[in-house]
Structure 1
Amino acid sequence: MKNFLKIFLAILLIVCVGAALASCNENESESDVNCEHSYDNACDANCNSCGEARVVGEHIASADDGDCTTDIKCSVCEKVLVAGKTQHVSSADDGDCTTAVTCTECDHVVTAAKAHDFTGAWQNDATDHWHVCANEGCNASDTKAAHQMGADGKCTDCGRVMQECVNHEYTITKYDENGHWKECACGDKQTAVAHSPSENGDCSIGIQCSGCDWIYPAKNHTPEQDDGDCTTDIKCSECGSVAVAGNNAHVDSNDDHICDNGGCGKPLDPNVIHQGGANTEGGWGALIRP
């Protein structure tokens, strides 16, 4: 009885396997059997036509450019294997601008090194003076140097007062556009006074102040009122320079004893002898007044 049962189960197994194989063959299309598989690249695991899966190898990483914000991708399929960071992380700044600040994750330079700038204001103490670098974030200083006192009691380099002046001597003239004053070598100064133009200046080219080297800005002459005599110079009311030169003589061309120069008309002395229509008292010739 046991043998019969074993034989029966064996026959049943064979029948089931055969049915399954027949069913598989019925569902498989001819195109699946004859498909010439195609893939996008060596990393593509599924056929583009029939979708059949295959076993592929590991991705091949592209070269690392040394920048931690750059993605590392597969050199075959461009898949991101290692995502880049969103930004660099600066290392601690040592307070010296000549040292570059780099990223803690890679060698990227976040802040480039630069030369010190020691052109700012002097720093000083009782014995020395120096400069601190003016570049932002830099704490470096140049070499300290000892003070050298000048005649005014101040350091000749940084200006620190080393000895107070007792007896002021106001020998230095200083000025600005508002006035001028005298200063002592120590910096103490007298009260400023207003500028005053020097004599015989010409305001059309600028006049120097009589008390300092300040120059009044140049401007056009301002003529004085014409007295009606063509032999009189018309001068500038501001600086006294001749704005319009007078004629050296009156002219009486028609012997009516009235000056014929334009704008004059001055009555002439009938006893004055004229030669060639010109008064013998001069020789510049006529000037027509405006």
Structure 2
Amino acid sequence: MIDALFQNSLVARIILNTLFVSIPEELYLVMFTLIMVGEFEYWKESECKRLINRFDYVRVFLPTIAGALASNILINAGLNNGFYQFLTPIFMYIIIVLTNDIFGDASAIKWMLKAFISYMIGFLSIGILELLYIPMVLYGTGITLVQLSNSFLHYFLLSLPSRFLQYSILLYLISKRRTLLKGKLIKNMLSSPVLIIIFSLLVLCNILFLWLMYNFIVYDKVLINFQHISQVFIIIGIVSFPMLNISALLWGFYFLKNNEIKDKKKASEKLYILLKEIEIYTNNENYDNIRWKLNEIGMGIRDVAQNLYKENETDRIT
């Protein structure tokens, strides 16, 4: 009966898909974004008894419901191919920004950048999770996604594995009561405009890559003639590619930053050692050694100054 209503009534199809398929997905994306930018820091407080407070309803549920409705309206209007697929995510991001009280704040631009990066990562995670199993279901049953979407029950069941994985991620973030953006690595990355641009472009390229692969594999079924084991390995490779290159960027940045911190630590330790020795010589009234230590410090400072001067001269020449 539900399937008959789903197939014969456009309004019923939009409502059912919105309530049971799209809203859970968009809620994951909104919550993931807000958690990552640290909008639920009050969860850390011992007196916090609710996951979502009343003052959070607008910024959580308005983007969720609006995005879910927009997505289903576009799909049923036939605007679900090509770059039309990106209209709903853009629309949702705009609503997320508008429903958070950031305007007039000096850090509004920084918040929007954090939200944009977090939103893209969440969007990318949805594509990765769906690509893990949907192609296998379609290839195994021999039907297309369009045919499957004509049955509400089948379409709903197809979305369940992805929802389970998505909400497992949310539960992990909630259970930790912390955000990744509080980590030193992400903090340092967000402090550099160049790194923000590089990271954003990388994530965008990965989203575009997954979008192309999703269309080729799910809609065009380009792997249909491959053996099952080959299909599995190809899909695993495609899914792994975004995770590996993003991880490589983060690891590379961590490696460089860690070396920089080590160098600073060594320099700091050396100065503390010199200071300690000067204090010892002062207490012993050994002023000749103090003079020698000060001379050593002066030579070190002179070397640094000369190196900086040479670097600046090189910059001016080039």
Q: Same fold (TM over 0.5)?
A: no
Normalized per residue, the structure richer in helix is 2
Over alpha carbons, which structure has the higher Rg? 1
TM-score range relative to shorter protein:
under 0.3
Which structure has more relative contact order (CA 8 Å, sep 6+)? It is 2
Normalized per residue, the structure richer in strand is 1
Q: TM-score, normalised by structure 2?
A: 0.20
